[in-house]
Structure 1
Amino acid sequence: MVALGTGVVRREVFSCVRPVRLGVELGSGGIRARLAEGPELVVEVRPEPRGYGHGAWPVEPDGSPRGDAWGWQPEYDWQPGRMPQVPPVPGVPPVPSPYGQGWGAGQGPHGPIPPGHGYVPGFGTVPPGHGYVPGHGLVPTAPGTSSAPGTSSVPGTAPAAEAVPAAGAPAFTDPGLDAIEISFSPEGGLRVALPHGHPLWATALTVDITAPALSRPHLRTGSGFVSVTGTAATAHLRTGAGSLDLQRAEGEAELDTGTGSVSVGRLAGAARLRTGSGSIDVGTVEGEVSAHTGTGRISVGSLAAGSLEAVTTSGEIRVGVSDGVIPDVDAHSGAGGVRDDLSDGSAPRTGAPRVRLRARTGSGRVWITRAV
């Protein structure tokens, strides 16, 4: 028997020199795919006993959670995105957060959050002395442990701690990684999946894949981040709650998250980007792209070809249009105004290609500039 969290890893290596389909489906956890030149396809799967804790999610250089990798430390009002101000504690001055207040200290999307409580989207408030692990629910924190990396303790609040199994939750003393299907064929590609109903379905896992460039990732997790580096031929990334990152796609791309940020380096084909709540950031658009968020900003560094539809209910839209193209712009803001700085750039040559931009925000500014 091997205790969960002692570095148990299942590793499979396949000979693979051509791009293939990469199919992964998890109940909870993160998926990372690295697409690069090489003769092998490598898959590693490991359990993450801390669930949404810092060890299972991407972090900033200072150790704080990045993007929409929210945690469950009870001294914060956690939200999708970065942590807001620490809630007030009697006799202790408020501690401002450098990341902004989000919903505001002590205020959740459905009403006030009591001091000392946390909040997990889709679950609700988390009382002092407890954490939250996907699929388990409330988890009591272990007494006497120190705060998680990148956080600070506040007098009068419960310290952050490693998760321990909640009452009635499965006791994962045996990771059971052999139950995960990892199969590969040159025709069918890679498949990584766990039988529905298996105890590990509710446990956060991390899947790391190294595969040939121009492979076609189809990656899905119920709650967790998905990240693809390198160049994909096509990409379909989905999570119920978490961030999505894609470096580059040459063809069709679809990125969909219920709550979380979406970040893409370059889109050369038709693409659909959607998040219920979170920001959307794209480096370069060269295809037909639609970007929709319920609440959050939309930022595009360069609209170089094709078209862009950017829609947010509440948030700023900022788009840079490349020199040398003729823009057709249709922009509207219900409250915030539209700023168009395209006249500051050089005039496009006769016969230059056209790009189409449609931008809509209910509350926020639309800012159209020349790409840097």
Structure 2
Amino acid sequence: MGTFARSAMTTFYTKGVKPVIFSMAPDKVHDDMITHGSWAQKVTPAIGAIESLIKYEDPALVTEAYGLTLRNPLGLGAGLDKNVAIPGILQMTGFGFLTFGSVTSRVCPGNPRPWFHRLVDQESLVIHVGLANGGVEKVAARLRELKAQNNRHYSALPFKMSIARTNDTHTGDVYEGVEDYVKSVRALNGLSELIELNISCPNTMVGEAFTSPENLDTLLTEVDKVAPSQPIVLKMPSDKSWEQFRELVDVALDHDVQGLTLTNLRKDRDSVTMDPAIKGNLSGKPVREMSTDFVRRTYLHAGDKLTLAGLGGVFTAEHAYDKITAGATLVELVSGLMFKGPAVVGTIAEGLVELAQADGFEKVQDAVGSRADIAVATD
């Protein structure tokens, strides 16, 4: 039933829904999704029924990470739901965990609109949001509200809260930036299963100050002092040489960082054809190979000292499996939902089991890093 339902929903989305929403401005589509989804998720019987139809569950998918037992290794990446507005809708798609944010210590209006632009033929979204969100205090209150509701259809999945430096005219030097992050870490302490420090948002007026080893060390030293109850994950930049990237990995290894999300948006736009007047950076397909390469190099460098999540251009089970065999325990996606529809998560999950078992693995997690040496050797 699940396979048939996912196939039917994918056909309905690609033939019926997608042509309509892709004819609309992507900013409006995103805003409408948040507005209508926040109401729709309150119909919990419907949420539960749809989830049971399109999700895919198999013991071979169960994944252990950060002391958590996840129903599968697939997660929503940060950026789609900044303020934890639609966790019930997102849970319905069959993810194993959800990432919300990035959230900042101060309310942040973001960059001037438009925030999104589609490159349909190149399977990419150009992102120029600039961390628009309601601020950490609002989001912390929202998380407390969700915990108080204790409704499994409203959100039963582990959360990862992504934190970034506020993007506004009040930003100062590196030490002000450290204080900005630390305020958010304190506010979210104990309110999610994981905290992600997004050090690599490229669409901000202050730039990526904490993608230098010295500044990252300063930041993590102060976060270590806070000692939040949740494991700390870093969201890493994409446009670095391996030597520069490795320096950041080594700084993380010197601190209480337990994982990395690889990678953020691609700043180099030479790989796509687009109007140069459009502002923003690339998601989706242009990030795919770059992020997988960083996964395998980091896995070979750090081994099991860090839990890796591969992010970027995951539209199929093969894309996800490439990241897993390169060394990613977890795989995240965002653009895949837009281009392939909500049933893509279950479709990928089912395909992962088939791919892993075809390679002789009992569980998908057993395949982590199994081709990392081969991949690097053929670069």
Q: TM-score range by the shorter chain?
A: under 0.3
- Structure scoring higher RCO (CA < 8 A, sep ≥ 6) equals 2
The structure carrying a bigger strand percent of its residues is: 1
Give the structure-2-normalised TM-score. 0.25
Bigger Cα Rg: 1
Higher helix share: 2
